[in-house]
Amino acid sequence: MTETQDLEKKVAIVFGGARGIGAAVAHRLARDGADVALTYVSAPEKAAETVSTIEAEGRQGLAILADSADPEAIRAAVAATVERFGRLDIVVVNAGIFRRGSVEDFPLEDLDLILNVNIRGVFLAIQATAPHLGQGGRIVTIGSNTAVRTSFPGSSVYSMTKAAVAVMVKGIAIDLAPRGITVNNIQPGPTETDMTSAVVEMLKPMIPVGRVGQPREIAGLAAWLASEEAGYMTGASLTIDGGMSL
Which residue ranges make up each domain of the chain? 3-237
What single letter denotes the amino acid at residue 53?
T
3 state DSSP class of 57: coil
CA distance 207 to 242: 6
At 194-226, the pLDDT tens digits run 777 777 788 899 999 999 999 999 999 999 999
* CATH code of the region 3-237: 3.40.50.720
* Composition of the chain by helix, strand, coil, percent to 5: 45, 15, 35
3 state DSSP class of 189: coil
pLDDT for res 96: 87
CA distance 63 to 67: 13
Longest dimension (CA), the chain: 55
Look up the pTM and report it: 0.95
Among 158, 164, 182, 187, the active-site one is 158
Q: Determine whether 158 is an active site residue.
A: yes
CA distance 152 to 157: 11
Residue 150's H or E segment, with its range, is none
pLDDT for res 1: 36
At 8-66, the pLDDT tens digits run 999 999 999 999 999 999 999 999 999 999 999 999 999 999 999 999 999 999 999 99
Closest by CA position to 172, among listed 91, 68, 95: 91
At 29-45, the pLDDT tens digits run 999 999 999 999 999 99
